[in-house]
Structure 1
Amino acid sequence: MTTKVGILGATGAVGQRLIQLLEPHPDFEIAALTASASSAGETYRDAAKWRVDSPIPASVADSTVRETAPDAVPDDVALVFSSLPSDVGAEVEPAFCEDGYVVSSNSSNARMAEDVPLIIPEVNGDHVGLLEVQRDARGWDGALLKNPNCSTITMVPTLAALDRFGLESVRVSTLQAVSGAGYSGVTSMEIIDNVLPHIGGEEAKMETETTKLLGSFDGSTVETHDVDVQASCNRVPTLDGHLENVWADTTEDVTAEAAAEAMAAMEGADLPSSPERMVRVFEEPDRPQPRLDRMLDSGMAVSAGGIKETSTGIQYDCLAHNTMRGAAGASVLNGELLRSEGYL
């Protein structure tokens, strides 16, 4: 039996990706689309400026867009995917949870809250147990689960593989695609023939979310990892795909070959949207590249390459599709985890 789902913020860039992924999904059935009050009552075709690289699904094109409020979503919807702006999500998502809805959210609000699981299923799927603590503490019948920032999710699976060597500190410089800022987030005059060496709030997200994702769950709390992370985040004129240069210092000596083997051994989760192998490792020194490699495993794989030893650890490059694995796909995967673990 399929699970009926809703999409909050369905007309935006990530909302459109969610529709692209959920419409053919074997376990989920789209039953509600919400947007801002100005779009409520319109057909989805009219409300959304469809910009995804596939036709708008006929099954949703003529659906009526609803207001983003719990009483506007049918009671038989068991799970809602949220791609709301963080300030809106901070207000709306708890209201849905109080009303009994389970929310798989891509929005940045509450990611570091002590009782909100921040999850990459292949890395820390066991943290989903924190929802029991959350429900007890907040008195919710629903629940709130988050996926991390698109730049964080690109790097963390590779770090999880290296943690067996005693992960001590990480330095990362990102080259982030313009789609990460949304359709109107960066103008052509800003980015063509240019690089923007600052993305507001992005560095702090990478530095804090990484420690939570790599932390351990003891059944009641998540103890964050003590790895020290410092990030420099840059916007580059690439459409999709965040490429990152990472320096990881380890307490143990590690060879490039051992690091590559550890990354390649990262398995996928037993969920429909998870790739068989979480990390694809390239031997070629000039890979991964956004245009060539962002759609590996339907955009859900992380790729790594250029792995070499340093005097204190390992240096390498990693890549992920920022609106697939880094946003919509991550939320769908977390929805699959919630369904698999009986939270719906």
Structure 2
Amino acid sequence: MAVRVGVLGATGAVGQRLIQLLEPHPDFDIAALTASDSSAGKTYRQAAKWRVDSPIPGDIGEMTVTATDPDEVPDDVDLLFSSLPSSIGSEVEPAFCEAGYVVSSNSSNSRMAEDVPLVIPEINADHLDLLEVQRDERGWDGALVKNPNCSTITFVPTLAAIAEYGLEKVHVSTLQAVSGAGYDGVSSMEIIDNAIPYIGSEEDKLETESRKLLGEFDGAELSHNEMSVSASCNRIPTIDGHLENVWVETEDELTPADAAEAMRAFPSLDLRSSPEPLIHVFDEPDRPQPRMDRTVGGGMAIAAGGLQETPFGLQYNCLAHNTIRGAAGASVLNGELLLENGYL
């Protein structure tokens, strides 16, 4: 029997992508949609300004949207996917967890909390057991798991693939698509014929989340990876797909050929939404490119290429679809991991 799930913040861009991914999913059955008070009581078709590249599923369009409140969500919903703004998520998500709901969240609040697992399943699935610590410390019957920022998800899998060489210093420069800012995030007059070399708080997310993701969990505490990470973030006029330039210094010698082999061989997981391979490595020096490669692996794989030696260590480029792998798809994948590990 499919697990009954809900979507918090269902009318937003990530909420819409969640619905697109969840509606055909054999393990999940959408049973609740929440949004702002102004949308509550409307059908989803009335409440959502649909912008995803497929029609609203017919049965979803006629579902009634409720307020984002634990009292408004049916008790038999086992899992909630959250795409709430962090300012709202910081207040609402703990309330749902206290009420007994398990929440797989894309929102940025609490990602760095010591007892909240920040998870990319193929990279650090064992960190999910931090939920036992979380429940003990907070007294929750529910639980809260986070997926990282869309730009963090793009480069961390490539680092995990070469971690055996000893990660010491990492610099990443991002070229991020406008969809990462939401539909109203960047005006056309700002971004057309332009690039914006600043995205508020984004650099800190890459620098801190990456070290948590690649840290070690001993069953009681999580220690962060000791590599140093610096980031510079740029918004460019592509619609979807975050392209990143990465420089890595390692303790042991790492050639481009070694790195390519390690990335190609890095294992995926036997979860429905996890792609095979996880990292698609291009031999061509001018790949990956957002328009051509953002949907590799159904939008859930990481694309890499342009591997070369430089005076600053190994340099390469990587790319991920920011609203699929980097947001909604990451939350769905964490939901699958929660299901497989008996948390639902």
- Distance in 1, Cα, partners of 2:207 & 2:156: 11
Q: Is the 8 A contact 1:7 1:80 kept in 2?
A: yes
Alignment of 1:168-317 (within 5 A): 168-317=168-317
Aligned residue number for residue 33 of structure 1: 33
5+ residue gaps, structure 2 = none
CA offsets, 1:96-128, max 9 Å, x none? 000000000000000000000000000000100
Aligned residue number for residue 61 of structure 2: 61
- Calculate the TM-score normalised by the size of structure 1: 0.99
CA offsets, 1:44-91, max 9 Å, x none? 001000000001111200100000000100000000000000010000
- Distance in 2, Cα, partners of 1:294 & 1:124: 23
5+ residue gaps, structure 1 = none
2:115 counterpart SS class: coil
Q: Is the 8 A contact 2:134 2:143 kept in 1?
A: yes
- Calculate the TM-score normalised by the size of structure 2: 0.99
Alignment of 1:41-120 (within 5 A): 41-120=41-120
Number of equivalent positions: 344
CA offsets, 1:156-212, max 9 Å, x none? 000001111110010010000000000000000000000010000000000000000
Q: Is the 8 A contact 1:250 1:312 kept in 2?
A: no
1:64 counterpart SS class: coil
- Distance in 1, Cα, partners of 2:222 & 2:312: 28
CA offsets, 1:4-58, max 9 Å, x none? 0000000000000000000000100000000000000000001000000001111
Alignment of 1:140-155 (within 5 A): 140-155=140-155
CA offsets, 1:274-307, max 9 Å, x none? 0011100000000000011100111000010000
1:269 is displaced (CA, Å) by 1.2
- Distance in 1, Cα, partners of 2:286 & 2:336: 34
- Distance in 1, Cα, partners of 2:312 & 2:343: 43
1:225 is displaced (CA, Å) by 0.1
1:313 is displaced (CA, Å) by 2.5
Identity %: 71
CA offsets, 1:228-255, max 9 Å, x none? 0000000000000000000011011111
Instruction: Kindly provide the amino acid, as one letter, of the partner of residue 114 in structure 2.
Output: E
- Distance in 1, Cα, partners of 2:136 & 2:169: 35
CA offsets, 1:134-175, max 9 Å, x none? 000000000000000000000000000111111001001000
- Distance in 2, Cα, partners of 1:42 & 1:208: 40
1:207 counterpart SS class: helix
Q: Is the 8 A contact 1:42 1:65 kept in 2?
A: yes
Q: Is the 8 A contact 2:247 2:312 kept in 1?
A: no
Aligned residue number for residue 131 of structure 1: 131
Q: Is the 8 A contact 1:15 1:83 kept in 2?
A: yes
Instruction: Kindly provide the amino acid, as one letter, of the partner of residue 44 in structure 1.
Output: Y
Aligned residue number for residue 18 of structure 1: 18
More deviation, 311-320/64-73: 311-320
Q: Is the 8 A contact 1:104 1:335 kept in 2?
A: yes
- Distance in 2, Cα, partners of 1:67 & 1:53: 26
2:162 counterpart SS class: helix
2:237 counterpart SS class: coil
